[in-house]
Structure 1
Amino acid sequence: MWCRSRFGDARGGREARRGRGVGKVVVITGGAGGIGLATAWRFAREGAKVTLLDVDAAALENARAALAADGHEVRAIPCDVRDAAQCRAAIEEVVSSWGGVDVLVNNAGIAHRSLFAETDEAVVRRVMDVNFFGAVHCTQAALPSVLSRGGSVVAISSVAGFAPLVGRTGYAASKHALHGFFDSLRAEVGGRGVHVMLVCPSYVDTAIDRHALGGDGSAAAASKVVVGKLDAPADVADAIVEGVLARRALVVPSAVAKYAWWLSRIAPSVYVRVMKQRQGPEFGLTS
């Protein structure tokens, strides 16, 4: 039971208990696809008003149109989360139109796949700009409204946010940074009625790894390694929404991710050995 409460594994299901989000205003970055879009559908089915932010304007409009066609209240605002001014403008538009922000889901992210010794610094900076500073920009813009409404701030992290991962040093750094930032933010604003939650999936069936950057910033070759079955974005979205409704601090939504959590804490050297056995050969690491 402690594990269930700690990790937030309870999933209400996409057909369970409608209406718990009626009237709530939800903003989701990286909302045009993957986990972001699946989360938008789940919140919308709970009755929430959803705003999607994404840098891909065409995919964003397709997502908005699909949700609207199903009868949901939805807005779409093109936004590059690396630009703090764009984030402020987007949040201001939501507040002006719908009165405030109840839930911010910081989901926008990119990945890279290359050994650090073969990775340009610009690649690491780009990953940090999207994954970490993008979340900082949107949170800073939305926090006054979230504070006034006793709402939630969510950050989509990863197993790489609490454990090492070879071939993705910049990605892991960006996700570890989210934990330091949002755990500290929780300590600052939790007593003022704001819920802050980190979500740590394992491998999810989205485009993020397929579109990963290589060490020189070009597209990386397709990964040959998958640890366990890919999680469905809809399952992760279920866990996110249930976690928000239950106001959990941490959601680790799959068996593989939970295994990584426990092993990396109980026996960190064993975790590194197992992880390198599975991930290392892709990068020529044999020990």
Structure 2
Amino acid sequence: MHRKVFANKVFERKVVVVTGGGAGIGRALAIRFAQAGARLVIFDLQQETLDSLVQHLADHHNVEALGLCCDVADALAVQAAMQRVLERFGGIDILINNAGITHRSTFAETELAVFQRVMAVNYFGALHCTREALPSLIARQGQVIVLSSLSGFAPLLYRSAYNASKHALHGLFETLRFELRGSGVNIMLVCPGFTATDLRKNALVGDGSPTRQPPLAMGKVASPQDVAEAIYQGALQRRRLLVLSNVDWRARVLARFFPRLFERVLLPRLSGLRPPQ
């Protein structure tokens, strides 16, 4: 279907950068903004996946897109990639910090390298990309969209590194929002619930190797397309916080005001794991 059917003039010809855009929520976001007429830049680690997505966007949505193989944890790689974006498109209107990894292991069994890698991708990846894009975002009064998690306010068992990285994102971007008051730049923190993506399938274990266990049963799981649509609508409204958790307000209220009750009632179910015997 031609993109003009979906076109929204708010994003027509805007330049949208999506990190971790090769699959899952990132891919769904790239397609949704393409439907609105945006020009896309997708960062991912697999060039073949990027090439396929760029071709799909051209063939099905008639938009200009660029796929760049870039590890967002590498500050120099991000700097080089962002320079290519600026040279090709002249600026950036929306930066979507979506790239992320997770793990499933107890704190005691998790090697230091796993903590460092999770923080390098989830936290420093967003930091690197935002630092490089910020001058252009300020000049264009653009937006930064940050993919956090329900674990940003309701921690999950056996995800200590992941939980820490999401808390760090909130600290960083809530501070940046305050510093950018009056600049015209909007920052939206997004907290999805459990979503059917490869994030859980590709989780690390304590020694840093990929898990061999199937994804955990977490109850109702959202589709990447539904999450992308909600984020798109939030971007239209320039929201500051978008909570899409499947457990909605209950986890937030219990975790903040009744932490003991949260730990006893919701935490085991949300985490999908029983404590080790």
Distance 1:262 1:255 in 2: 14
AA of the residue aligned to 1:28? V
Q: Does residue 234 of structure 1 match 2:225?
A: yes
AA of the residue aligned to 1:128? M
Per-residue deviation, 1:189 = 0.7
Output one character per residue of 1:69-116: Cα deviation in whole Å (capped at 9) or x when no partner.
Answer: 111221111101011111111111111111100000000001100011
State the match for 1:21 in structure 2.
Answer: 11
Contact 1:165 1:275 in 2 (8 A): no
- From 176, 192, 216, the equivalent of 2:207 is 216
Distance 1:115 1:75 in 2: 39
State the match for 2:128 in structure 1.
Answer: 137
State the match for 2:26 in structure 1.
Answer: 36
Contact 2:93 2:141 in 1 (8 A): yes
> What does 1:36-55 correspond to in 2, within 5 Å?
36-55=26-45
Aligned-pair Cα RMSD in Å: 1.8
The share of aligned pairs that are identical, in percent, is 46
Distance 2:273 2:214 in 1: 8
Distance 1:224 1:234 in 2: 19
Per-residue deviation, 1:118 = 0.7
DSSP 3-state at the match of 2:180: helix
Aligned residues: 272
- From 127, 131, 142, the equivalent of 1:151 is 142
Normalising to structure 1: TM-score of the pair?
0.90
| Greater Cα shift, 261-270 or 38-47 | 261-270
Per-residue deviation, 1:267 = 2.1
- From 99, 104, 111, the equivalent of 2:95 is 104
Q: 1:39 to 1:224 in 2, by over 3 A?
A: closer
Per-residue deviation, 1:224 = 5.8
Contact 2:7 2:35 in 1 (8 A): no
AA of the residue aligned to 2:9? G
Contact 1:19 1:45 in 2 (8 A): no
State the match for 1:278 in structure 2.
Answer: 269
Per-residue deviation, 1:283 = 4.8
**Residue ranges of structure 1 left out of the alignment (5+ in a row):** 1-14
> What does 1:256-275 correspond to in 2, within 5 Å?
256-275=247-266
Contact 1:19 1:46 in 2 (8 A): yes
Q: 1:238 to 1:281 in 2, by over 3 A?
A: closer
